[in-house]
Amino acid sequence: MKKIAVFASGSGSNFQALVDAAQANQLSYEIALLVCDKPGAYAIERADKVDVPSLVVSPKDFASKVDYEKEILQKLNDSGVELIVLAGYMRLIGETLLSAYEGRIVNIHPSLLPSFPGKDAIGQAFQAKVKVTGVTVHYVDEGMDTGPIIAQEAVRMDEDETRESLEAKIHQVEHLLYPNVIQKLCSTNRNV
Ligand code: GAR
């Protein structure tokens, strides 16, 4: 059983999907910790409800990003976390976590990268009127939504698509894809 930490900043529906998939099936990962950079985020409530410990840390309470990430790193080490799973964590990972968890940080992004990186990828794709967008899971490097791609799934944009309906379709795909990918990463003998 691999111990993972999920990092989230908002609603945490992907955190929930990872919890639900692990509960419904015998999966090879255990969520040891939720890390959240936004006090009051709904993700924290979700973690409480399923007894996953959470670390809530505001970057503004630290003198530097290095200090902020050192605090997180300490907790990850204490909890024996082997893989960091970003799920709507709206912050660039800095050198402290990147070097400690090299090749062991993954992210999910709501577009077919390298198209539409950064904020509001769903809105960007909607406005661009593309016919196909989707979801990407990738390893994290120092860039914004860059790093080697692990998996992608396409989502078709229908003629009468609204932003809301597109968002719902993307989230549906995310909630199946992410647990599958994390399960695969954790069940192989790779050093994640
Ligand atoms: C998800 O759609 C995720 O792909 C996106 O934030 C949302 C979080 O939703 N992440 C990014 O845009 C990262 N660049 P959630 O809090 O309900 O899981």
Give tens-digit pLDDT for 46-68: 999 999 999 999 999 999 999 99
Whether 114 shows a pLDDT value over 80: the answer reads yes
Q: Which of 109, 138, 171, 175 is catalytic?
A: 109
Sign of the CA dihedral 107, 109, 113, 114? negative
DSSP states along 147-190: S-EEEEEEEEPPTT--HHHHHHHHHHHHHHHHHHHHHHHHHSSS
pLDDT recorded at residue 190: 64
Q: Give dist(CA 156, CA 170) in Å, integer.
A: 10
CB of 120 closer than 8 Å to CB of 141 = no
Q: Give the residues surrounding ligand 1 with Cβ less than 6 Å away.
A: 8, 10-14, 87-88, 108-110, 121, 145, 174
Whether 156 shows a pLDDT value over 90: the answer reads yes
Q: Whose CA is nearest to atom 13 of ligand 1?
A: 109
Annotation marks residue 171 as catalytic: no
Pocket test for ligand 1, best of 45, 109, 116, 182 (most atoms within 8 A of CB): 109
pLDDT recorded at residue 105: 98
Ligand 1 centroid to 110 CA: how many Å? 7
End-to-end CA distance of the chain: 11
CB of 56 closer than 8 Å to CB of 36 = yes
2-112+136-150+174-187 maps to CATH 3.40.50.170 = yes
Percentage of residues of the chain with pLDDT beyond 70: 98
**Three-state DSSP class for 9?**
coil
Percentage of residues of the chain with pLDDT beyond 90: 95
Q: Tokens 């998939």, residue?
A: 21
Kindly report, residue by residue over 21-32, the tens digit of the pLDDT: 999 888 899 999
Q: pTM (2 decimals)?
A: 0.96
Question: What residue type is 4 in one-letter code?
Answer: I
Q: Which atom of ligand 1 is nearest to the CA of 120?
A: 12
Q: Give dist(CA 53, CA 42) in Å, integer.
A: 14
Q: Which atom of ligand 1 is nearest to the CA of 12?
A: 16
Question: What residue type is 56 in one-letter code?
Answer: V
**Three-state DSSP class for 143?**
coil
Q: Tokens 């198209």, residue?
A: 115
Q: Is the peptide bond before 53 cis (omega within 30 degrees of 0)?
A: no
Q: Give dist(CA 48, CA 42) in Å, integer.
A: 10
Average pLDDT of the residues in 114-128: 97
Average pLDDT over the chain, rounded to an integer: 96
